[in-house]
Copies of this chain bind each other. A is one copy, B any other.
């Protein structure tokens, strides 16, 4: 029996008014619910009037939100609500109590570093207050921000007589897409966390997916579903329920509620980027605009830059993190890397395995890690001074092995050590399978947390804040996903959070389409420490990487990170001096960014303007298919000539054979409005520096 029986019993429903799910195999209907006559209208539009969000309630008092764009329904009426572990859920018997429209905002703000110097925030905002008609009379607000290129909404819940905080079992926010779509997504809640390849399936074949998930609707509109400003809440995945409907599934924690809130509380923003094409998704600033402004004050000490590292030789299995005859992080090895960085316009040297704690089975079990105790063969003081003499900084490394509480117990000494040794950036690591993060309870027992659960969301912010005290930036690996918090905490420079270059060291390498997938999925989150630039194109045991050299160069422009690695070894770079010149030249901090063209998983071309010169850089990559991409140089300054230093796939180049090393160089003069054709090899790419003349 279902609830209608109860309503019938009370005379609160009639059977002609459907209180049932239409339980047919969930094709979204493009119906519009009539607005209940006794409730205010709740509609907000984007500044350009093209996107409209509306909220209404159905016969069961369910609050339903929907989005249309240019008159076409994008999200059909979709449910809102919460389950709690200790209180009746909030889902039905709601009415719209009030609707408040904020004064439209149109302003700009400046990024201390980033892909654009200035960001325009142009949005309209609507607050919909929902109140239960049942005796508890609980109130929740849903606040919508609508930009021309997407929407965000979040729940804001006041402290009230019948709800002081919440023990949230799950969030019931649904996204019922009005059309079928092609989806690019990766699985959530599996052991390898965020490090799965993106797969392309119909929307109907999505299982449980991490966000962002990118959709191309049947009508061509592109949508990316993600969240912004994830603070003190569990990260959400989305699960396909039926048809084209996705629903939030919060990441579990070790406790009963997935999220515990006290007093008044808010959720992260649920976000949809909406654009005509894939480049349009990338060009949106919605994610950053939904985050709060910088809370750290002066952040001039946050330094973007390139780095090399005692790393690839370990990833390939030639050196070890642990002490012993093949230990990588020795004073002698690091000194060579410092010399190389100093000679090649590279600002940092990452050293992994420099500290005590790597000798046991540390993965998922990092309680032996000491974050301020170097191994005997790593002379930290000497190397810090030596690096300084070469105008290079060491980049610190804190691998926790998932022992997050253990790491927190050493925060002060760890970041003091980093600061004392001139480390502007620390790379953190949480190598442990999903659900295996160690959190210490007050009684000393260990609870097991998830990398993206509420506790770890808070842990990462504790790391960033502890680091900021010592003027240290953070590059988190095995992180929580990026939701734009770099705006609020500009020392949170980058993170991993997807399959990076390291997978090219091992069997099961990244396929040629991988980076063209990343550009319109993972990269919509924010910077990724992908670690490009393996010009040798070989992993362990000389296994071939499925890329061309020119594509490795192009990745420096395509895959944004303010801290960008040159991942190969100095010995290998010495073999490719002409190609390496681009890595030496390319900056990591940008004045402006344009996505010139692209299709998810197929190809993409970026142009970016250096923040510290008048040069522009271009990077274009393709999947396994060769293609000619025509680009008009509209982005260049009018009236100025540029020398285009072109790094392109050589004759016969292809990722599939030894011809992957074929690269060609060309120099020519260009100006704004010129058209160039980029010939990309299978698995290839092209990189161009537009050196500004007069």
Contacts and interface: CB of A to CB of B under 8 A. Distances in A.
A348 interface: no
If over half of A's interface residues share one DSSP class (helix, strand or loop), that class is named, otherwise mixed; here it is: loop
A339 interface: no
Contacts of A365: 88
A431 interface: yes
Contacts of A72: none
Interface stretch (A249-257, A273-281, A669-677): A249-257
A508 B23 contact: yes
A2 B507 CA distance: 13
A506 interface: yes
Number of copies: 2
A150 interface: no
Contact of A89 (B12, B199, B436): B436
Contact of A21 (B7, B255, B256, B508): B508
B169 A448 contact: yes
A26 B435 CA distance: 22
A561 to B, nearest CB: 16
Interface in A229-274: 239-242, 252-256
A685 interface: no
A612 interface: no
Interface stretch (A188-196, A410-418, A635-643): A188-196
Interface stretch (A200-208, A215-223, A283-291, A564-572): A200-208
A205 B208 contact: no
Give the interface size class of chain A.
Answer: 35 or more
Nearest to A505: B15
A88 B448 contact: yes
Nearest to A85: B254
Contacts of A134: 361
29 contacts: A1-B429, A1-B477, A2-B192, A3-B363, A5-B431, A6-B364, A10-B322, A10-B361, A15-B317, A15-B541, A18-B507, A21-B192, A21-B196, A23-B196, A23-B197, A23-B508, A87-B446, A88-B364, A88-B365, A88-B436, A91-B191, A169-B254, A169-B435, A169-B448, A187-B242, A190-B241, A206-B207, A207-B240, A208-B240
Contacts of A3: 363-364, 431, 433
Contacts of A252: 169-170
B241 A506 contact: no
Given A2-B195, A15-B541, A322-B9, A208 B239 contact: yes
B24 A317 contact: no
A528 to B, nearest CB: 14
A693 to B, nearest CB: 43
Contacts of A23: 196-197, 499, 508
A107 interface: no
Contact of A208 (B88, B241, B433, B505): B241
A332 B204 CA distance: 53
Contacts of A321: 5, 9
Interface of A: 1-12, 14-16, 18-26, 83-89, 91, 134, 169-170, 187, 190-192, 195-197, 199-202, 204-208, 239-242, 252-256, 314-317, 320-322, 353, 358, 361-365, 401, 429, 431, 433, 435-436, 445-448, 477-478, 496, 499, 502-503, 505-508, 511, 539-541, 543
Given A9-B321, A88-B364, 8 more contacts: A5-B502, A15-B541, A20-B508, A23-B508, A25-B201, A84-B448, A85-B447, A87-B448
A15 B503 CA distance: 11
Contact of A205 (B86, B205, B433, B496): B205
A102 to B, nearest CB: 32
* Residue of A358, A361, A502, A505 most packed against chain B (CB within 10 A): A361
Given A23-B508, A205-B205, A86 B445 contact: yes
B506 A433 contact: no
A574 to B, nearest CB: 24
B5 A207 contact: no
Given A241-B187, A445-B86, A506-B20, A6 B431 contact: yes
B315 A503 contact: no
Contacts of A502: 1-2, 5
Contacts of A207: 206-208, 239-242
A15 B526 CA distance: 31
A252 B6 CA distance: 25
Nearest to A87: B448
A430 to B, nearest CB: 9
Nearest to A3: B363
A180 to B, nearest CB: 11
A189 to B, nearest CB: 8
A580 to B, nearest CB: 25
